[in-house]
Structure 1
Amino acid sequence: MTYGDMLAAQGLVKSYGGVRALDGADIRLRGGEVHALVGENGAGKSTLVRILSGTLRPDEGTLRLAPEARSGGIAVVSQELSLFPDLSVRENLFPYRPPRRFGLLDRSAMDRAARPVLAELGLDVEPGALLGELPLADQQLTEIARALLRRPRVLVLDEPTSALPAAAVDRLERVLRTLTGRGIAILYVTHFLEEVMRLAQRVTVLRDGRVTLAGVRREDVGMPDLVTAMLGGTPQQPVRRTRAVTDGPPPVVLSGVCVPGRLADVTFTVRAGEVVGVAGLQGAGHLDALAVVCGRTAVSVGRVDIGGRGLPRSLRDAVRAGVAFVPSDRKRYGLMTDRTVWENTTAVSWLALGRGGFMPSRAELVRRTGDLTERLRLRGDPHDVVARLSGGNQQKVVFAKWLATEPRIVVLDDPTRGVDVGVRSEMHRIVGELAAGGAAVLISSTDLAELTEVCDRVLVFVRGRTVEELSGARLTEHQLAVSMQAGGRTGTGR
């Protein structure tokens, strides 16, 4: 069945001060299609999404909705979760105007409406479960379920798979095919170009607020075309470092480590100058291993030695042992979004570690921040409020905060989640520089290609155990996927 345009935007212009976030952008969303929107961080994607959803008024341009789109509305699922972790799944699914009976919440009616949508997404959770206790991937699927319960005719998904394991991504892709079969228009904002080539019928590319590819059919472009349209040239390749692995005592040692229900007899080391990846399906235990290194999870059995100081009892203890931790959820755990770049960057090195003396001058802290942001090629000023930066630049602030501590051990949990190919390449460059400088780097990523690009070797976890170590010619995306799938999902851990 052929559907017409659900939404048409033309000549959209939006400026912030003297900077044009959008400069005459056009886009048309057709019913029954997935329309991918791609571009670097700061290209204008977020501004365009906010205008389409009605939360931001453009300075110029027009926006038209088809009658059925007006009645069904536009639902937006943001990359940064807008959920309430202290409430149940049910309460998060019906935050506004929930069903009532005799003036009271009708939980039975809520569950009847929610269960088919949860099942469609392959989300096996009880509606009464506390949302904050679910893995991040399940929380992201819960937000998508909330949007679908509104029965929109236009659905905007902003980086919907950035925190999802492969199995959940497959489920979401099946759901998208069902939704487009119903005539829903889907705007799919992503940095994963493989998803664009696999899912989208049309693609629009933004660069510096301007459209460089406008609604082209997916079969008419290749991935190199998309990269060129995004960056204006080929992306910078990660710097290939000279190996600097030392023969001294390894900074990270886990031997026979057990955490009830999560880890069983885990043994590995990370040497100075080495980049070691950990990989596994959701709940496989690889993230629990990172939590042990960072002092966030207690160990029941086994030996742990981090930075020559034994088992860290807390994240603060781990930081004092020279550990830097870049989390996957930067807004919840990595940033003070209402504070400036310089306040975020110096938070750990000065406040927690006392670097720079009892009361360094603000000018000195700003100067140090400027040195770090220049090294990271961050677009912004030390005095900028972090909330106003793009996602990629926010991630650079997290990196800057930990680089300021001069860490000996760097733990990265999905460090390039939700950033574009340009920022991703820059993050990889920094990882290589850290290792070349003698740091021990431990990294987890939902992007298997990232692990193959930056790691010297990767440890594969299945059911809380390390089952394989891949390196050299065997370290490929295909072999990683095969090794991870060998033992299936455990259902435990994060």
Structure 2
Amino acid sequence: MAPVLAARGLTKAYGGVLALDGAGIALAAGEVHALAGENGAGKSTLVKVLLGIERPDAGVVELEGVPVPFAGARKAAEVGIAVVAQELSLFPDLSVLENLFPYGPPRRAGLTSPARAREKARTVLGELGLSGISWRAPLGRLDLADQQLVEISRALLEHPRVLVLDEPTSALPVDAVERLFAVVRRLVGQGLAVLYISHFLEEVRQLADRISVLRDGRNVMDGTPVAQVPLDVLVEAMLGDTPGELRKPDPGAGQGPPTARRLAFTKVSVGRRLHDVSFEAAPGEITGFAGLQGAGHLAALEVVCGRARPTSGLVVLPGGDPPPRDVRRAVRAGVAFVPSDRKRYGLMLDRTVWENTSAVSWLARGEGPLWLHRGRHIARATAHAERLRLHGHALTPVRSLSGGNQQKVVFAKWLDIDPQVVVLDDPTRGVDIGARAEMHGIVRELKEAGKAVLVASTDLAELVELCDRVLVFQRGRIVRELSGPELTERGLSVAMNAGFAGTTGT
């Protein structure tokens, strides 16, 4: 019997970069087929070709044995192929019901019927634990996990023959993941074909029947039964060689009584984002935070910066202060925050260098009007510019500076308060290699000055280069700590993607 949906010999190049190199996959009715691979392996391109979003340079896509060059995702949906993408495609200002039926309510006797829409949606929403939400509520009022479940519900309401789930659990708490898996298993039992894409390999091993693995655009596994693939073999297939033995962190690490000058978390939770997290960060140490999207590492940093409040647990800043209740209190407690989006959150682009570098210290000290102290602020900005080798002067408009020099201004405004804790979120995002090296030099100077430095970065090489140790998060928990010879890009990738048996479901 022919697969419901299959692709063979797919090749796709973007300029001189080969995204797919003879890749393929075959999805059969009544089973979950997982697709795995590192970032950049070709997974997204393969899915886009299957859905008709991209046209392959070579190869064929077949629906029940018949070639089908779909002219877009809508055409694919019309023949029963539904997709839940990693990035939500919902409308936050519309109601939940309007999002479930974006093309209008179903018809009864030729007329649209909102009552019929509610009737059809009630069952699937209930299965996913959303029976208590308001039909009329704007979707944007729901938390991210419930929005993700609404998107999954919308796909299921189309009664597809093929369901593509692309990282569907990245924002879901454990109980919602379990509900989703139960629904998927029921649908598969009714003959649905599911393509499941996830970085959480333990999830893949728990749910999928077969697995295909892409590396560099090629199949290194092609429909292998999951039961025949040990975790280390699967990781080897993804990464290209055998990683060292995976080791859980010592569950008691970081849970002793905090010393006065350390930043300490003890069994800290933040809603659904963080669960019983404990660690310490010492002065004169660079601690890295790593994880996939929604893993919880950024939530931990938000607590330190006053951008999120713990729902339970104990947080102690250096010196014994409690966690800041808001950003202003964080500044006054000596916490600096360098954001990843400097233009949106880090700078006043139409202001001068001195106005930007003075903004935080002025807020922290509660001084009078900024212009009253203009000379003193300009002098301090000039000193920062010289120290950071800024290509500009105190009166230069920030908008006219290069990206690297703008980032130096962000650093300068926080150095102006002489912080005790420095939180860096993708500190070298969008800067050239020369500016990156200078930024790293500044970070090391902060360490040598006795600051506790916390770094999150999507660039694993940056974490390896900068950090003394890195805490790896999954589903709101620390699953591993890497330091010394273990702290490599490959080691981080394995820890972030593979996890450990039992960690994803607890």
- TM-score strictly above 0.5: yes
**One-letter amino acid of the counterpart of residue 446, structure 1:** R
SS of residue matched to 1:5: coil
1:55 and 2:53 correspond: yes
Residues of 2 paired with 1:287 and 1:381: CA distance? 19
The answer on whether the counterparts of 2:32 and 2:210 sit within 8 Å (CA) in structure 1 is yes
1:79 and 2:86 correspond: yes
Distance 1:108 1:240, change over 3 A: closer
Structure 2 counterpart of 1:6, from 4, 7, 28 = 4
Match of residue 479 from structure 2: 451
**One-letter amino acid of the counterpart of residue 31, structure 1:** A
How far did 1:160 drift? 1.2
Structure 2 counterpart of 1:195, from 194, 197, 203 = 203
Cα RMSD for the two superposed structures: 5.6
Match of residue 131 from structure 1: 139
Residues 85-164 of structure 1: pairs in structure 2 closer than 5 A = 85-99=92-106, 106-126=113-133, 127-164=135-172
**One-letter amino acid of the counterpart of residue 30, structure 2:** G
Deviation per CA, 1:271-322: give whole Å up to 9, x if none: 5459799xxxx9xx9999875543235799x998756687656447646843
**One-letter amino acid of the counterpart of residue 117, structure 2:** M
**One-letter amino acid of the counterpart of residue 463, structure 2:** I
Deviation per CA, 1:102-143: give whole Å up to 9, x if none: 999744332211110111222343222332232222121111
Structure 2 counterpart of 1:322, from 314, 317, 335 = 335
Structure 1, unaligned stretches of length 5 or more? 327-333, 337-342, 370-375, 385-395, 417-422, 456-475, 485-494
**One-letter amino acid of the counterpart of residue 306, structure 2:** G
* Mean Cα deviation higher: 113-122 or 28-37: 113-122
**One-letter amino acid of the counterpart of residue 430, structure 1:** L
Residues of 2 paired with 1:65 and 1:175: CA distance? 24
Distance 1:24 1:435, change over 3 A: same
The answer on whether the counterparts of 2:221 and 2:237 sit within 8 Å (CA) in structure 1 is yes
Residues 307-346 of structure 1: pairs in structure 2 closer than 5 A = 312=324, 314-315=326-327, 318=330, 321-324=334-337
Distance 1:335 1:152, change over 3 A: farther
SS of residue matched to 1:152: coil
Deviation per CA, 1:310-366: give whole Å up to 9, x if none: 76564476468434488xxxxxxx659xxxxxx799869986878746547427449
How far did 1:20 drift? 0.6
Residues of 1 paired with 2:222 and 2:278: CA distance? 51
Deviation per CA, 1:19-65: give whole Å up to 9, x if none: 01111111100011100000000001111111111111111110011
**One-letter amino acid of the counterpart of residue 43, structure 2:** K
How far did 1:81 drift? 1.5
Deviation per CA, 1:239-270: give whole Å up to 9, x if none: 999x9999864465799x9999x99xx99986
The answer on whether the counterparts of 1:323 and 1:410 sit within 8 Å (CA) in structure 2 is no
**One-letter amino acid of the counterpart of residue 294, structure 1:** C
Distance 1:193 1:303, change over 3 A: closer
Match of residue 232 from structure 2: 224
**One-letter amino acid of the counterpart of residue 167, structure 1:** D
Structure 2 counterpart of 1:362, from 402, 409, 432 = 402
SS of residue matched to 2:40: coil
Structure 2 counterpart of 1:43, from 41, 62, 75 = 41
The answer on whether the counterparts of 1:203 and 1:214 sit within 8 Å (CA) in structure 2 is yes
Distance 1:77 1:232, change over 3 A: same
Deviation per CA, 1:409-441: give whole Å up to 9, x if none: 6487xx88xxxxxx8xx48x93895465xxxx9
Specify the structure having the higher radius of gyration (Cα).
2
SS of residue matched to 1:186: strand
Task: Please report the TM-score for the alignment, with normalisation by the length of structure 1.
Answer: 0.63
Structure 2, unaligned stretches of length 5 or more? 67-75, 361-380, 382-387, 410-424, 484-498
Match of residue 27 from structure 1: 25
**One-letter amino acid of the counterpart of residue 451, structure 1:** V
**One-letter amino acid of the counterpart of residue 479, structure 2:** L
What is the number of residues matched between the two proteins?
402
How far did 1:235 drift? 3.8
Structure 1 counterpart of 2:182, from 149, 174, 197 = 174
Distance 1:83 1:186, change over 3 A: same
Residues of 2 paired with 1:478 and 1:180: CA distance? 24
Residues of 2 paired with 1:235 and 1:252: CA distance? 32
Deviation per CA, 1:203-249: give whole Å up to 9, x if none: 100001111111111122221221111111124789999x9999864
Match of residue 430 from structure 1: 463
Distance 1:146 1:404, change over 3 A: farther
